[in-house]
Copies of this chain bind each other. A is one copy, B any other.
Amino acid sequence: MIKVGVVGGTGYTGVELLRLLSRHPQVELVAITSRGEAGMAVSEMFPSLRGRVNLKFVTPQDAALDQCDAVFFATPNGIAMQQAAELVAAGVRVIDLAADFRITDVAEWEKWYGMKHAAPELVAEAVYGLPETSRDKIRKARVLANPGCYPTAVQLGFLPLVEAGVVELGNLIADAKSGVSGAGRKAEVHTLFPEAADSFKAYGVPGHRHLPEIRQGLTRFAGQPVGLTFVPHLTPLIRGIHATLYGRLTKDVDLQALYEQRFAGEPFVDVMPAGSHPETRSVRASNMCRIAVHRPQGGDTVVVLSVIDNLVKGAAGQAVQNLNIMFGFDESTGLDIVPVSP
């Protein structure tokens, strides 16, 4: 049993983290902070947690986070980098669900995120927490950068192809579609129901912050620079990401076998049978990533379909998976959720 705190529990990744942690048998949830809502019962803001989470929001000062074994940051970008050093110094292991520690190149990070980084030295030691590629490093991490939602779906989808060196690396395409919860629980016009329902659009085509994160990952897998076009879209789902990935094959290879072997034994990656089309609802509310790989009409274009729940495997679930690895728990602890379908 470890003591866990959550900084910023009022957004979608925050409440999802609470859903998962509230039934994690190895976790004692000791504090949930929110400056704005301090004093309010968590279950008043989130009635779905009535009887499950009996804490109130507290201010960061009152949270005694330095007494925790682990602290999650479910905050906007730019918060964790200001508070992590002190916690790490106190022996607390930090898991950041925002982007502060995801990009190793600090200058690149500052360009895309539009602010000065407050803790570049922690960026250097932070571990990028994609379990399927970095379990050993995650185990020892003091600062864990939890991957973004699009980056999780896209990297897992491309991973076998890029590692195996069977596609042209200069010209990969990721056409990704996200549910609206990916935009966060912020009062904004463009994500109101009447704006986002029954409509579909691309956004950020000139450049999206997840592009450098994905490119960094793919470059690591390949051991050389990778060219990527990344187009995100907003689709009328509450939860779910569907990434459709395109590459040109440079070798004739048994794609199905390649994927099955690469992910054999992975608890949260499911390679579907050949010919499958995974639906986002098949992973709804669960930490699973389901992948199918196609080669239409036997041509030289490979098409990969990769689906996750953006709030689980794309955020809070993967964060708990990383916590499990960091503390030596079974990797699936607290994550044994059967997807909710329909």
Contact = CB atoms under 8 A, between A and B. Distances in A.
A46 to B, nearest CB: 7
Interface of A: 12, 15, 19, 22-23, 46-52, 171, 173, 175, 177, 179-181, 185-189, 191-203, 205-207, 227, 229-231, 233, 235-240, 242, 244, 246, 248, 270, 272, 275-286, 290, 294, 296-297, 299, 301, 303, 305, 307, 311, 336, 338-342
Contacts of A244: 175, 202, 231, 233
A296 B229 contact: yes
14 contacts: A12-B342, A46-B341, A47-B276, A48-B282, A177-B200, A177-B233, A177-B235, A179-B198, A180-B194, A181-B194, A192-B193, A200-B235, A201-B279, A284-B340
Given A189-B187, A191-B193, A338-B19, A205 B277 contact: yes
A284 to B, nearest CB: 7
Contacts of A272: 47, 50
A285 B238 CA distance: 15
Contacts of A173: 173, 246, 301
Contact of A237 (B181, B236, B240): B236
A47 B278 contact: yes
Given A175-B175, A201-B278, A279-B201, A236 B238 contact: no
Contact of A207 (B179, B203, B296): B296
A338 B47 contact: no
A206 B297 contact: yes
A185 B190 CA distance: 9
Contacts of A235: 177, 200, 235-236
B189 A185 contact: yes
A341 B229 contact: no
Nearest first, the 10 A-B pairs at minimum CB distance are A199-B281, A48-B341, A48-B339, A194-B342, A180-B193, A201-B279, A193-B196, A175-B175, A47-B282, A187-B187
